[in-house]
Copies of this chain bind each other. A is one copy, B any other.
Amino acid sequence: MPELPTHWLRDNCPCAECRDPRSGQKLFQIADLPEDLVVSAQCEMNGNLEVLWSDGHRSRYPLGWLTEAGDGDGRTEADKRLWVAADFRRGLPEAEWEAYLADPAEQAAVLTAVRRSGFAVLRGVPAVERQVLRVAGSFGFVRVTNYGELFDVRVEPDPNNLAFTSVAITPHTDNPYRDPVPTLQLLHCLENSATGGDSGLVDGFGAAAVLREEAPADFAVLTRTPVPFVFRDHGAELRADRPLIDVDPLGRIREVRFNNRSIGTLRGSREELDAFYAAYRRFAAVTLRPELQLTFRLDPGDCLVLDNTRLLHARTAFRQDGRRHLQGCYADLDSLTSTLAVLHRRTAALDAIAELFAGEGAGEYLGEAVTMAEHMLQAAAAAEAAGAAPQLVAAALLHDVGHFQGALRGRDLMQGQDSRHGDSGADWLAQWFGPEVTEPVRLHVAAKRYLCAVEPGYRERLSEASEYTLMVQGGPMDDAQAAAFAALPGAADAVAVRRWDDQAKAAGAAAPDFEHYRTLLASLMR
C-alpha cells in the first residue's frame, strides 16, 4: 500500500459519523481535522483498508475505492460525443412524446442524447400552447427570463408580400448576455407552413475543437478574452463579460457563447483587438462550414431540446407564405442530469427486482405447487384481470418480496419464526415506491388474520402452508384487533391484495412475466 494523502483520506472517511449515509453530505468541517493528523496504524482486511488515526478515529475504505479513477460532471468535451452533420445521416436522436412519458428507458435515452450530443427531438408533443413548459417540467425547472416564462417565435403570412424572405439567422447561442446563461433551450413547433424556415444546429464544442486543431493560437485568444455581451430594451439591460470559448481549469472546452448580434464594444490595445478579431472571425467561419451544419425541419408537435452552452442554433431563410409559430423556454442542464441519474437508479432497481424474480423467485414457495415468482406473477395477473389500479397491481406483484433472502435477509417463516415479511418487503420497497404500493404489501399478512376473524369460510379455504403460517403470524385477529385493522386507511387495499395472493397458487396457470410489469412499476417509482 503506497502512502496515501493524509487529509484527503480522512476527508473521505465513509463512516456514518463522518457522512450522512443517505445524502453523502459530510458531517464535519475540514478545519476540524487536526493539522498534525497522521495514520497511526493501517492494515488490509477482507478487501478493506482499516485505518486507525492519531486522533483515535477509525476508518474503513474498500480497497477498490482507493484506486478508482475519478469521473467528471459530464459538462466538458471529455464527456461529449462531438459531431458533424453527417453523423446524423441515419436519423436524429428522437423519441415519441408518449413513449418518453411512459417508458423510463425512452426518457433516459433522450436525456442521454442531450448530454452526449447536445440535443434531441421529441415528436408528437401536442401542438398546443404552453406544452413546451410541460416538456421542460418532465426533466427540470423552467428558467424565467425577461422574455417571460416562455417566448413566441411567430410569423404571420403577409398577403401583400408573399415573396418577402425573412432573413436567415446564423448559428448562435441564446442569452449570452445572461450570467448564469440558461444552459438548455426548448423550441416547440406549433405551426410551420412557411416555405423554408428550417432549423440548423452546429456543435459548438466540435467547432471549437476544429479551431484548436487548425489555429491553436486563435483558440487560446478566444479562451482568454472576456467579451462583453450586451442587451438593452425597454425593461432590461443585461451584460455578461465571458469568453467565446470557456475552458475548465484543465483546459477542456466547457462552454461556448457565440452571438454576433450581442457583442458590445471590446476594449484593449490595438494588438489585442486585432488578435481577437482575427480569431473571432476564424471561429465564425468554422461555425459556418457546411459539413458542420445539421439542418432539419421542425413540424408541428416537434420539440427540440438543446444544450445552450454547447450547440449553436440557426434558422434558414423563409418566405412569409404561411404561418410559422414556435414556442420556446429555457431550463438548466444540472436538473436534466439529475433526472437522468435518478432514472438510472430506477432502472437499476427494476433490474435488481427482475433478477430476484429470475433467481430466488424460481425457488419453492412455502411448499406450495408454484414457485415464489409464479405465485407473485399470478397474484399480479389476478389484480390486472380484476381491473385494479396500477398501485395495487404493483402491490400484488411485489407482496412477497420480503421472502427473498438475498434482498432482505429475512428469516424463514417455515422454520416457525415470523420473518415479518410484509414489513421487511414494504421497508425495502419504500426506497422507490410510495405508501400506495408499500402499505398493502405491509398489511397483506394482517389482512389474512383479519379475514380469518371476520369472514366465515375464509380460513377453511386457506392452503395448508397458509394455515400453518397463520399460527406463526399470530392467528386470527380478536374483535378489537379486527376493528382496529378495518379502521386503517389502507385496509381495503390490503384485503384486495390478500385475495389475489390467495388465488395465486395454481400450478401451471399462465401469467405474464416480470417484464410485462416494468413500465407500470416505473410509472409508480418516486
Q: C-beta contact mask, A222-263 vs B, less than 8 Å → 1, else 0? A: 011110101111111111110100001110000000001111
User: CA separation between A243 and B248, bound complex, in Å?
Assistant: 9
Inter-chain contacts of A224 with B (CB < 8 A) = 249-250
Interface stretch, picked from A82-90, A211-219, A337-345, is A337-345
Also in contact, A239 and B337, with CB within 8 A (given A12-B265, A30-B284): yes
| Contact (Cβ within 8 A) B26 A267 | no
| Contact (Cβ within 8 A) A267 B338 | no
Which among B73, B145, B281 is the interface contact of A31 at CB below 8 angstroms?
B281
Also in contact, A261 and B142, with CB within 8 A (given A235-B342, A237-B342, A277-B5): no
Which among B22, B170, B250, B338 is the interface contact of A29 at CB below 8 angstroms?
B170
Inter-chain contacts of A4 with B (CB < 8 A) = 270
| Contact (Cβ within 8 A) B243 A146 | no
Which among B70, B241, B345 is the interface contact of A73 at CB below 8 angstroms?
B241
User: CA separation between A225 and B249, bound complex, in Å?
Assistant: 6
A487 to chain B minimum Cβ distance, whole angstroms, is: 28
How many copies the complex holds: the figure is: 2
User: CA separation between A29 and B280, bound complex, in Å?
Assistant: 11
- CB of A288 within 8 Å of the partner chain: yes
Q: C-beta contact mask, A146-178 vs B, less than 8 Å → 1, else 0? A: 100000000000000000000000100000011
Chain A stretch 165-212: residues in CB contact (< 8 A) with chain B: 170, 177-181, 183
Q: C-beta contact mask, A262-277 vs B, less than 8 Å → 1, else 0? A: 1111111010011011
- CB of A362 within 8 Å of the partner chain: no
A180 to chain B minimum Cβ distance, whole angstroms, is: 3
- CB of A510 within 8 Å of the partner chain: no
User: CA separation between A276 and B5, bound complex, in Å?
Assistant: 10
Which among B24, B30, B70, B334 is the interface contact of A267 at CB below 8 angstroms?
B70
Inter-chain contacts of A236 with B (CB < 8 A) = 338, 342
| Contact (Cβ within 8 A) A23 B232 | yes
- CB of A333 within 8 Å of the partner chain: yes
Inter-chain contacts of A8 with B (CB < 8 A) = 266, 273-274, 276-277
User: CA separation between A29 and B183, bound complex, in Å?
Assistant: 23
Inter-chain contacts of A375 with B (CB < 8 A) = none
Inter-chain contacts of A144 with B (CB < 8 A) = 141-142
| Contact (Cβ within 8 A) A241 B248 | yes
Chain B residue nearest to A243 (CB atoms) is B249
Chain B residue nearest to A248 (CB atoms) is B226
User: CA separation between A164 and B153, bound complex, in Å?
Assistant: 58
- CB of A509 within 8 Å of the partner chain: no
User: CA separation between A28 and B168, bound complex, in Å?
Assistant: 11
5 A-B contacts (beta carbon < 8 Å): A7-B278, A8-B273, A8-B276, A179-B333, A238-B338
